């Protein structure tokens, strides 16, 4: 009898790991590997999902059409917490359980956000490139800046925003927070977004991507930022109008940016890639050896639980299980 396939798009998923692939094969499932290295079309996803019962995925596209035509699919286990690439409402209606791995990569993302702040302000990538090319410029136009004593604006103050704040305590910074759901407490000053943008030396984004936050940092809001400010984004690329950001950086209306996420991944904007005052990383904020091991283990758990009729951890909408059992 043919074993039901599980599609795995998360790169480097351990097919023989005792906490990952081996558990799937021991449960009588087969593995179909298609690591996500770039965006795939809906047709490509539909072809990969043919006959698939479960999927352990990266930021793959699961729109309504992909879900509708993937008739055998019962569970999507997202390695991470974002669901903006998944039509959760359609999935729930079709009885496809969507699960995420909350809590597994928050510390890693907070570390990366602070690392990007330091990389941009201390101009580490620029100096690295210069030294490799035989240069030794240390002052003048190559002079670095400081994080210590700066005003840091955190846009979004959920778990990751709070972890970033905690990591910044040793730098003697003033922290401003813009988040309608946040509550003031020691060391945090809640302000409206325009005030945060106009006062901050560093603006760091920590919001989910929704219809209300898409292009939140557009040309108008970039114009509110100080010309010596730095924008850091480890959340979602769609929060920022990338074209407007490039223009602000090119015209030196903004000192620098540090980006781990992009409107299109990998980024294809040639002007962005050519800018010397931008630090770029490949959406690795939530990625570490520890976080990947934990996220892939939890995603494996979710697939096994749903296919066995159990309630999984990280289930986004429990109504999907009701549709499955109807």
State the DSSP code for 142.
G
Instruction: Note if the bond before 160 is cis, omega within 30 degrees.
Output: no
Cβ pair 262, 242 in contact under 8 A: yes
Helix (H) or strand (E) holding 46: helix 42-48
Question: DSSP state, 217?
Answer: B
Q: Which residues of 148-199 form beta strands (DSSP E)?
A: 151-155, 174-178, 189-190
For 133-192, where are the alpha helices, taking DSSP H only?
A: 159-168
Q: Give the active site residue among 162, 199, 236, 298.
A: 236
Q: Which of 23, 250, 265, 269 is catalytic?
A: 265
Alpha carbon distance 203, 233 (integer Å)? 8
Catalytic residue among 283, 294, 297, 298: 283
Residue 231 tokens read as 């924008």
CA-based radius of gyration for the chain: 21
Active site residue 166: no
Does residue 40 carry a catalytic annotation?
A: no
The secondary structure of 220-233, three-state, reads HHHCCCCCCCEEEE
Please provide the DSSP assignment of 240-255 as one string.
Answer: B-HHHHHHHHHTTSSS
Q: How far apart are CA 144 and CA 227, in angstroms?
A: 15
Token pair listed for 185: 């407490």
314 φψ region: left (φ > 0), alpha (ψ -120 to 50), beta (else): left
State yes or no: is 265 an active-site residue. yes
Round to whole Å and give the CA distance between 116 and 281. 9
Give, to the nearest 10 degrees, the angle between helix 106-121 and helix 124-132.
Answer: 60
The closest alpha carbon to 16, from 296, 305, 314, belongs to: 296
Catalytic sites, residue numbers: 236, 265, 283
């Amino acid at each position: 009898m043919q074993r039901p396939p599980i599609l795995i798009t998360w790169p480097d998923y351990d097919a023989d790991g005792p906490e990952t692939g081996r558990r799937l094969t021991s449960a009588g499932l087969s593995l179909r590997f298609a690591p996500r290295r770039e965006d795939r079309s809906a047709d490509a996803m539909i072809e990969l999902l043919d006959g698939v019962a479960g999927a352990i995925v990266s930021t793959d596209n699961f729109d309504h059409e992909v879900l509708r035509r993937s008739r055998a699919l019962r569970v999507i286990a997202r390695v991470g917490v974002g669901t903006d690439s998944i039509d959760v409402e359609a999935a729930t209606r079709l009885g496809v359980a969507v699960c995420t791995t909350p809590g597994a990569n928050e510390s890693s993302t907070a570390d990366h956000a602070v690392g990007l702040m330091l990389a941009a302000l201390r101009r580490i990538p620029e100096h690295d490139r210069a030294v490799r090319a035989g240069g030794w410029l240390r002052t003048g136009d190559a002079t670095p800046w400081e994080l210590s004593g700066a005003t840091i604006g955190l846009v979004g103050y959920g778990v990751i925003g709070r972890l970033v704040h905690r990591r910044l305590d040793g730098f003697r910074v003033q922290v401003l927070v813009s988040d309608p759901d946040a509550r003031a407490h020691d060391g945090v000053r809640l302000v409206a977004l325009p005030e945060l943008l106009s006062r901050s030396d560093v603006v760091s984004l920590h919001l989910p991507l929704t219809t209300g936050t898409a292009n939140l940092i557009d040309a108008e809001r970039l114009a509110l930022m100080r010309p010596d400010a730095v924008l850091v984004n480890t959340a979602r690329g769609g929060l920022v109008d990338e074209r407007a950001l490039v223009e602000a950086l090119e015209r030196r209306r903004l000192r620098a940016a540090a980006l781990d996420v992009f409107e299109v991944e990998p980024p294809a904007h040639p002007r962005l890639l050519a800018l010397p005052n931008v630090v770029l990383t490949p959406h690795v904020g939530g990625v570490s050896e520890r976080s990947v091991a934990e996220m892939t283990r939890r995603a494996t758990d979710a697939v096994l639980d749903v296919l066995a009729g159990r309630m999984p951890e990280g289930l986004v909408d429990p109504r999907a299980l009701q549709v499955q059992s109807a």
